Structures are given as C-alpha cells and as structure tokens.
C-alpha cells in the first residue's frame, strides 16, 4: 500500500471514528434532555467565543447551598464541547449537586497553558455566581475526563492558575478524575506542538505539583484503556497518598478510555459503576461539614483501594 493510500485510509478511519463518537454522545444525551433538572446554557465567563458554560441544577435547587461540581470535557485539547456532555450535567444534578460544564480554548487557537487559564477563569465564575443557582461557592469539586481530568487535577494541585485568575484555591474541596493523563508524555506531533518550548514536562505534568494541600480525590480508569494507560491513575493516587491525602482509586476491568465518562449516561450505567462511585465520594465530602473529625480523616486518610 502506498504512503498516499495509507494516509487516505487513516483519514477515513479517523473521520468514521469521529462520526461514531458524535453519534454515541448524541444518543447518550437524549435521555438527559428529559431529566428533571434545570439547565441554563451558554453563560459567559469571559469575552472569547469559547468562554461559555452551562449550569445544571436539581429541580428544587433554589434557595439551597449545594456543593458544586465543575466538569471539563476531554478531546485531546483539540476537540470537544460542553454540549456533548449534557448527560454528565444531568447525572450530577440528579445526584443533588449543582454542575457546571465550561468550554475552553483548544489547539490550534491556543497551546499549553492557555486552556488552563480558561479553566481557572471558569472556577472564578463559579465562586462569584454559583449561589445564584443554588450552589455553595466555597464547596467546589473539580472533575474532568481525559484532557479535562488533567486540567481539573492541575488546578487542584497547582494553585498558580487559580491565583492568577483571582480565584480562591481554598474553596476546592475535592477532585474527581476520569481516565486522566496525570503523567503526561506527548506522543503525537499535535501533542508535541501543544506542549512545547518554552515549557518543559515539569510544567505540564500534574504529578510534580502534588503536595499535602491537595484535596481528597476519586480517581477512576478503565483497565483496558490503551489511549491513557491506567498507570497514570495509579501513580496519581500514590503521589497523593505519599503526602497523606485521601485518594480513592477505581480501575474497572475490561473498560476502555471512554467507558469512564460513558458510565454517567443512562444507557451505560449498568456496564460501568462510575456514577455510584461518584455519589459515594461526594457523600463523604458532604459529611465533612457535619463532622470536622471526619473531614480530617478524609483529607489525611490512606484512601480506598
């Protein structure tokens, strides 16, 4: 097969996979459109075209002060949109939390670390506006899938981004990472362009920034993930525990990279128990307010296996 034919075949396969992914996300979002939650879409947190976020509330969130979960989508820093993950916002709101799903700029518009600055500004928006939607701006949980998990984790452990945006890192009470590349090693031409000089691996890898002030974390991964290897989650959990921070880790045998976020959708919940694990973790975080000694144990305990 000539190089040209191989290239055409690769492009055709990529297009087909992209189309299939879009179809699957669309199917996952259909039940979410009828979920008993309130959705406020396309709220601006900046002046750019991608500076928009969606807020999902429980149907009776008005007047409450609920924990807030901010979820960033994946897409390899080149693709993705909050609208594809309506099922995530609906699932988290139905658990009883306020969910915020921001967009962020992607390549080729920007490179590292611009998208992290976008993410930090979304956190600032949550601190300034969450109360308007029934959320507690001082009880924020950062969550993401794939590239989004990397971003959530980086904000949780490297406070320079939040501080530069004017946000308060002390309002971050938890981290939920789905299939995150915490020990990121760029291995494609595009990734090597996104993560490049003047920055070094020590700048974009999450692990070097983990310290004792990191929030408690739930880290999940598919055991059959060949896009982002499960070792990333294992190493992140080990780094947190080495600093005395509670880290729950869940490796789902036989599950792929996408299964960890798909498990939040109604069609896939029986295949991957991620929603139940998120619910249990959030319950533990919520108990911090009622029992300060439990909060100390959650932040400094060894964590589940």
Write out 117-165 in H/E/C secondary structure: HHHHHHHHHHHHHHHHHCEEEEEEEEEEECHHHHHHHHHHHCCHHHHHH
Contact between 72 and 144 (Cβ < 8 Å): yes
Give the 3-state secondary structure of residue 186.
Answer: coil
**Is 230 within the bounds of a domain?**
yes
List Cα–Cα distances, 270 to 95, 116, 221, 260, in angstroms: 17, 33, 16, 12
Mean per-residue pLDDT for 148-166? 98
Task: Print the domain residue range for 264.
Answer: 3-300
pLDDT at 36: 81
Determine the average pLDDT of the residues in 20-47: 78
Q: How do residues 249-297 score in pLDDT, each as one tens digit? A: 999 999 999 999 999 999 899 999 999 999 999 999 988 755 444 444 4
Q: With respect to residue 305, please indicate whether it lies within any of the assigned structural domains.
A: no
> Residue 32 half-sphere exposure, CB side, CA atoms within 13 Å?
25
Write the CA distances from 60 to 98, 200, 250, 260, integer angstroms: 11, 47, 31, 28
Q: Are 56 and 92 in contact (CB under 8 A)?
A: yes
Taking alpha carbons only, the member of 162, 254, 259 closest to residue 215 is 162
User: What DSSP element (H or E) covers 23?
Assistant: helix 3-32
Express each pLDDT in 93-118 by its tens digit: 999 999 999 999 999 999 999 999 99
* Nearest one of 204, 220, 207 to 278, comparing CA atoms: 220
CATH number at residue 251: 3.40.50.1820
CA distance 119 to 9: 36
Cα 284–Cα 135–Cα 41 angle in degrees, nearest 5: 120
The whole-number average pLDDT for the span 176-185 is 98
DSSP tag of 216:
P
**Position 264 in a domain:** yes
**Residue of 142, 149, 144, 178 lying closest to 69 (CA atoms):** 142
Q: What is the tally of structural domains in the chain?
A: 1
Burial 153-184 (b: 16+ CB within 10 A, else e): bbbbbbbebbeebebebebbbbbbbbbbbbbb
More confident residue, 53 or 6: 53
Count Cβ atoms below 10 Å from residue 20 Cβ, excluding itself: 10
Whether 236 maps to a domain, the answer reads: yes
Q: Cα dist. 52→55, 74, 103, 104, 205 in Å?
A: 10, 16, 6, 8, 26
User: Strand pairing partners for 55?
Assistant: 40, 100
How far is CA 161 from its chain centroid? 16
**pLDDT tens-digit profile of 198-246?**
999 999 999 999 999 999 999 999 999 999 999 999 999 999 999 999 9
């Amino acid at each position: 097969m000539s190089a040209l034919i191989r290239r055409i075949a690769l492009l055709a396969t990529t297009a087909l996979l992209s189309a299939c992914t879009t179809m699957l996300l669309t199917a996952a979002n259909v039940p979410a459109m009828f979920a008993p939650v309130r959705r406020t879409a396309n709220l601006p947190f900046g002046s750019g075209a991608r500076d928009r976020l969606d807020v999902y509330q429980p149907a009776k969130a008005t007047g409450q002060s609920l924990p807030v979960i901010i979820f960033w989508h994946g897409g390899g820093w080149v693709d993705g949109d909050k609208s594809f993950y309506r099922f995530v916002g609906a699932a988290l709101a139905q658990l009883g939390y306020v969910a915020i799903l921001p967009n962020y700029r992607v390549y080729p518009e920007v490179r590292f670390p611009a998208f992290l600055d976008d993410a930090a500004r979304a956190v600032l928006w949550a601190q300034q506006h969450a109360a308007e939607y029934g959320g507690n701006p001082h009880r924020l949980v950062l969550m993401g899938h794939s590239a989004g998990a990397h971003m959530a984790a980086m904000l949780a452990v490297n406070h320079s981004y939040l501080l530069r945006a004017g946000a308060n890192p002390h309002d971050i009470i938890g981290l939920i990472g789905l299939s995150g590349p915490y020990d990121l090693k760029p291995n494609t031409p595009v990734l090597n362009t996104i993560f490049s000089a003047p920055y070094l691996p020590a700048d974009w890898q999450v692990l070097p920034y983990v310290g004792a002030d990191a929030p408690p974390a739930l880290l999940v991964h598919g055991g059959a993930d060949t896009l982002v290897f499960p070792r990333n989650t294992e190493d992140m959990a080990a780094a947190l525990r080495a600093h005395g921070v509670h880290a729950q880790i869940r490796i789902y045998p036989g599950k792929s990279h996408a299964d960890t976020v798909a498990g939040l959708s109604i069609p896939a919940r029986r295949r991957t128990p991620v929603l139940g694990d998120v619910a249990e973790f959030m319950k533990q975080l919520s108990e911090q307010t009622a029992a300060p000694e439990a909060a100390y144990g959650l932040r400094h305990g060894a964590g589940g296996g």
